[in-house]
Structure 1
Amino acid sequence: MTLQASKGVRAVALLVFVAAVSACTLPRSGPSRNEIFTSSILEDGDSFVVEVNDHVTRATSVPPALGFSAEFRNAGVLGSDVIRPGDRLGVSVWENTDVPILGVPQTATVLEEIQVDGEGFIFVPYAGRIRASGNTPEALRNMITRKLDQQTPDPQVTVRRLAGDGSTVALMGAVTGQGVYAIERPTRTLGAMLARAGGVSIEPEQAQITVTRGNRKGTIWLDDLYANPEMDIPLRGGDQILVERDKRAFTAMGATGGQQRVNFETQTISAIEALALVGGLNSNLADPTGIFVFRDEPADIANKVMGRTDLKGDQRVIYVLDLTKPNGIFEARDFAIREQDTIYVTEAPYTRFQKTLSSIIAPAANVTTLANGLQ
């Protein structure tokens, strides 16, 4: 062998050695399955690594609880017959005389759109200023009758409540018709008022409804509002109703069809659905035995999962799903993903082997070609 060829062989050997040493630092999407297991508290790590089973699925199944407090539910329907400041009234008067003071003989005089002022009063010609607020239309009718009876014999009076501008709510966000709406007889509850505004302008299963009343708030899913009649709360003047899309999201990483932050599309999402939302597992890279869900778990749930009672505060828990087990897909279907979860899919061992092999073979082939050329 010539000197040049000998140098070429030594160069190949050196390059192979360097490639083998550097194989452990090859590019990859994240930690391996074994590296995650070594992060367990049992291995002096800082996380609990838990394999998902039926017990874990039940213990962690905590659907997002939304709804209105008893204070909202028990408020009672707003009485549409009670007159309030800002309401608009219609008053008609029939006079039993040939010379009526308000109109022509035997014809009703209609006083359209009388608005109750801020102090609760209205003005009726020849009857004067009368307190309307706090009275029913019938009580107000009697008051006007007594006042006019002093001016014309046996007047006949009717009072109609046209609209309740004094009791209004504001609808904002993802509703078809944003604006300020009066609470009237057909729209005295939340569901009816949403219908009055044309409904929501987003997918119903993603819609959340928040009602702000003074310094109190309540939020409910639109689906739950219609499924539970007791949640169709009575409205109060000044209520602010906000319709918005569900803001919850999870993150997908590793050997999946896409690495991204994903918004929830329904109230609950299972692990198998979450994987489907990001394109499933990458068939060329993914290890179906190494699907991990990273979560900060509240202490009460962590204690149930681990069968303990001593854990305090949020705990770092890594849940493991193995789709190759006989019931692995069922467990992934039943395991619920929660807000801020991180789903990580590890690479298959053969993928790392291929990367290592490629890092060795390609440089070696290049140097061998160079050595042959020198020889």
Structure 2
Amino acid sequence: MKTNINLKLITSLIFATSLISLTACTIPGGHIEGVSASEQQELCEQQNEETNGEQTDGNCEDSQFDITAEVNTILITPKVLNSIKETEPTASQNPTLEKQLANYAYTVDVGDVLNIIVYDHPELTIPAGQFRDPEQMGNLVDANGNIFFPFIGQLHVSGQSVATIRNAITAKLKRYLEDPQIDVKVAAYRAKRTYVTGAVMQPTVVPIGNIPVTLLDAINGAGGIKEDADWRSVILTRDSKDERLDLYALYQKGDMSQNRLLRHNDIIHVPRNDATKVFVMGEVKRASTLPIHRSGLTLAEALGNVGGFNEMTADASGIFILRASQDPEKIADVYQLDASNAAALILATQFRLQPMDLVYVTSAPIARWNKVISLLLPTVRGLDDLNDLENDL
């Protein structure tokens, strides 16, 4: 009989302790079990006594991890959605680019090959041969930016357009020829190029010639972008400076302001979408890491992709989105969706997730109680078996 009384007393204490842990050691509204601030203070003081303050120097303030004051908590409402809604790109013109294209003129540089023809004077023109290509028939721009031409000698041509070079040769040949007729062409464009790297079908080097090359031309020349590319974060590196461009706006919306006229040594890098992902955790069917696809990802899509939240254990009023805060004095912005009214789920279809967002669905109080019960039952059963054994003896 005494054993039975002890068993009942132990069982009662266990359940009382679990009740206290469910009510006293939780973060309000978050349903996350932990150690209360007072318990942290007590544990810290006890540790200081045991170590004579050697490890913590008697200071217990740093041991309390209470970030309530450092978090912005925002209830998702139609007004909040309008305030955080990103402006969608629209079709637009690019007057600056259009002017650059209209005034574009290729300038010769080191490594290019020029083909210079003096009409009615074949002796001044390198003759064409059966086994000669246009490059072998031309004049190579040397490392000093010069070419050699009969009667003229060394002529500096680097950084000049074809028209300027033609006028210069014509003016110099007038000393020896009457009304010379000159034609100058670039036989081989070797001097200027731009590079396309990253998540494209075929990373390549795109030569720049007499036809201007834009960002759109270079991407298409590389075979387009891959499925795992991050459309919205393409980097154009020019003169050691990076510029972020949005191919989604350019391709899908026709926003020509994202297009650029490329220059020599420009680097276009299309990153992978490894960092464009969100994390869905808590009381959902399948906790997962989800990529953000090209057209974006809403909260409703994220919940749908993981099978939705568990209706038996989830607290529909506690759907949270944790996002790094832009406020330097805050750690995070925590958006809460109260979906206890199913009609509120329509707000989830309008809430767009951002890279590295964390979606967390909390558990209902009864679900947390059931978890505690399931953990305590083996202990209670063990005590009951021990009691039966003592009675048999």
Which AA in structure 1 matches 2:350? D
What is the DSSP-based 3-state SS (H/G/I as helix, E as strand, rest coil) of the residue aligned with 2:263?
Answer: coil
CA deviations on 1:289-311 (whole Å, 9 max, x unpaired) are 21112234335xxxxxxxxxxxx
Q: Residues 348 and 118 of structure 1: is their aligned pair in 2 closer, same or farther, counting only changes over 3 Å?
A: same
Preserved contact between residue 219 and residue 225 of structure 2 (Cα < 8 Å): yes
Whose strand proportion is higher, 1 or 2? 1
Which AA in structure 1 matches 2:318? G
Preserved contact between residue 120 and residue 131 of structure 1 (Cα < 8 Å): yes
CA apart distance, 1:171: 2.1
- Write out aligned runs for 1:135-154 (5 A): 135-145=160-170
Preserved contact between residue 145 and residue 155 of structure 1 (Cα < 8 Å): yes
Q: Residues 231 and 352 of structure 1: is their aligned pair in 2 closer, same or farther, counting only changes over 3 Å?
A: closer
Q: 2:15 aligns with which of 20, 35, 42?
A: 20
Q: 1:253 maps to which residue?
A: 281
Q: 1:288 aligns with which of 286, 303, 316?
A: 316
What is the DSSP-based 3-state SS (H/G/I as helix, E as strand, rest coil) of the residue aligned with 2:18?
Answer: helix
1:236 aligns with 2:231: no
Q: Residues 114 and 296 of structure 1: is their aligned pair in 2 closer, same or farther, counting only changes over 3 Å?
A: same
Count of matched residue positions in the alignment of Structure 1 and Structure 2: 341
CA deviations on 1:35-85 (whole Å, 9 max, x unpaired) are 57xx9xxxx9424433211011111224699xxxx9986982472343333
Preserved contact between residue 294 and residue 319 of structure 1 (Cα < 8 Å): yes
Q: 2:221 aligns with which of 196, 201, 221?
A: 196
Structure 2 alignment gaps of length 5 or more: 37-66
1:122 aligns with 2:147: yes
1:343 aligns with 2:368: no
The percentage of aligned residue pairs carrying the same residue is 24
CA distance in 1: counterparts of 2:108 and 2:172, whole angstroms: 19
TM-align CA RMSD: 3.9
CA apart distance, 1:278: 4.0
CA deviations on 1:73-99 (whole Å, 9 max, x unpaired) are 6982472343333333223344358xx
CA apart distance, 1:184: 2.2
TM-score normalised per structure 2: 0.71
Which AA in structure 2 matches 1:53? T
1:332 aligns with 2:357: no
CA distance in 2: counterparts of 1:206 and 1:101, whole angstroms: 53
Preserved contact between residue 96 and residue 154 of structure 1 (Cα < 8 Å): no
- Write out aligned runs for 1:175-186 (5 A): 175-186=200-211
CA deviations on 1:8-37 (whole Å, 9 max, x unpaired) are 4224303322430342558xxx9574657x
1:95 aligns with 2:120: yes
CA apart distance, 1:244: 0.8
Q: More deviation in 249-258 or 331-340?
A: 249-258
CA distance in 2: counterparts of 1:31 and 1:261, whole angstroms: 25
CA apart distance, 1:191: 0.8
Which AA in structure 2 matches 1:57? L
CA apart distance, 1:159: 1.8
Q: Residues 49 and 12 of structure 1: is their aligned pair in 2 closer, same or farther, counting only changes over 3 Å?
A: same
CA distance in 1: counterparts of 2:380 and 2:268, whole angstroms: 69
1:273 aligns with 2:301: yes
CA deviations on 1:124-148 (whole Å, 9 max, x unpaired) are 3454222323443244334445555
Preserved contact between residue 198 and residue 272 of structure 2 (Cα < 8 Å): no
CA apart distance, 1:260: 5.1
CA distance in 2: counterparts of 1:206 and 1:146, whole angstroms: 51
CA deviations on 1:138-189 (whole Å, 9 max, x unpaired) are 4433444555566677765432123443332222222333343321244521
CA distance in 2: counterparts of 1:132 and 1:34, whole angstroms: 72
Q: 2:78 maps to which residue?
A: 54
Q: Residues 103 and 263 of structure 1: is their aligned pair in 2 closer, same or farther, counting only changes over 3 Å?
A: closer
Q: Residues 339 and 197 of structure 1: is their aligned pair in 2 closer, same or farther, counting only changes over 3 Å?
A: closer
Q: Residues 145 and 330 of structure 1: is their aligned pair in 2 closer, same or farther, counting only changes over 3 Å?
A: same
CA deviations on 1:189-239 (whole Å, 9 max, x unpaired) are 111122222222344664632111114321112122232123211112222
CA distance in 2: counterparts of 1:279 and 1:160, whole angstroms: 64
Q: 2:64 maps to which residue?
A: none
Q: Residues 128 and 369 of structure 1: is their aligned pair in 2 closer, same or farther, counting only changes over 3 Å?
A: same
CA apart distance, 1:104: 7.6
CA apart distance, 1:318: 2.4
